[in-house]
Amino acid sequence: MNIKSLAVNGLVAALYIAVSFVIQPFGFTNVQFRVSEMFNHLIVFNKKFIYGIVLGVFLTNLFFSPMVAYDLVFGVGQSIVALLVTLFSMRFIKGIWARMAFNTIVFTFTMFIIAFELNLAFGMPFLFTWLTTAAGELAVMIVGAPIMYAVNKRVNFNKMMETPVSISKHKVISQKD
């Protein structure tokens, strides 16, 4: 990973944490309405965003979760599983909108991992908790898709991760007077 990718992933993690902090009371309940989850859509623009997303989830759960140990295992694990499934699928799914739709479905479905976590930690009923956490995730991912698409049109996420071209790789032509 180059310095530029590292810096961009650091910014993604910081944004994830900042947005999570603002909505903190709604991000750790049985509804899991965590607005910062919209950053999961970054993965469809460039696979290198996985590091910033996972770091953001990890640090958010470390700093703000009322059940740190559980969330560091299950919350981060759910994100990694969903991101990797989306990454794998991108070989077969073309187009940003199709990829974001698939990503939304994957993140919504894998909320069963969070439901299992809440069942273990607090004895919440698994199926009902899966339904409520999935509904919250679905809402955030659906609302987040057009937002991330619009932001991409402005800043070009894929270009943010490109390796800068080295001058030494190009032939320099000098002009003589």
Are 26 and 19 in contact by the 8 Å Cβ rule? The answer is no
Are 68 and 61 in contact by the 8 Å Cβ rule? The answer is yes
Are 39 and 9 in contact by the 8 Å Cβ rule? The answer is no
- This prediction has a pTM of 0.88
Mean pLDDT of the residues in the chain: 90
Residue 113 CA to residue 137 CA, distance in Å, equals 13
- pLDDT tens track for 101-115: 999 999 999 999 999
3-state SS assignment for residue 162: coil
- Looking at 10-19, 21-30, 99-108, which range is the least confident one? 21-30
* 150: pLDDT strictly greater than 80: yes
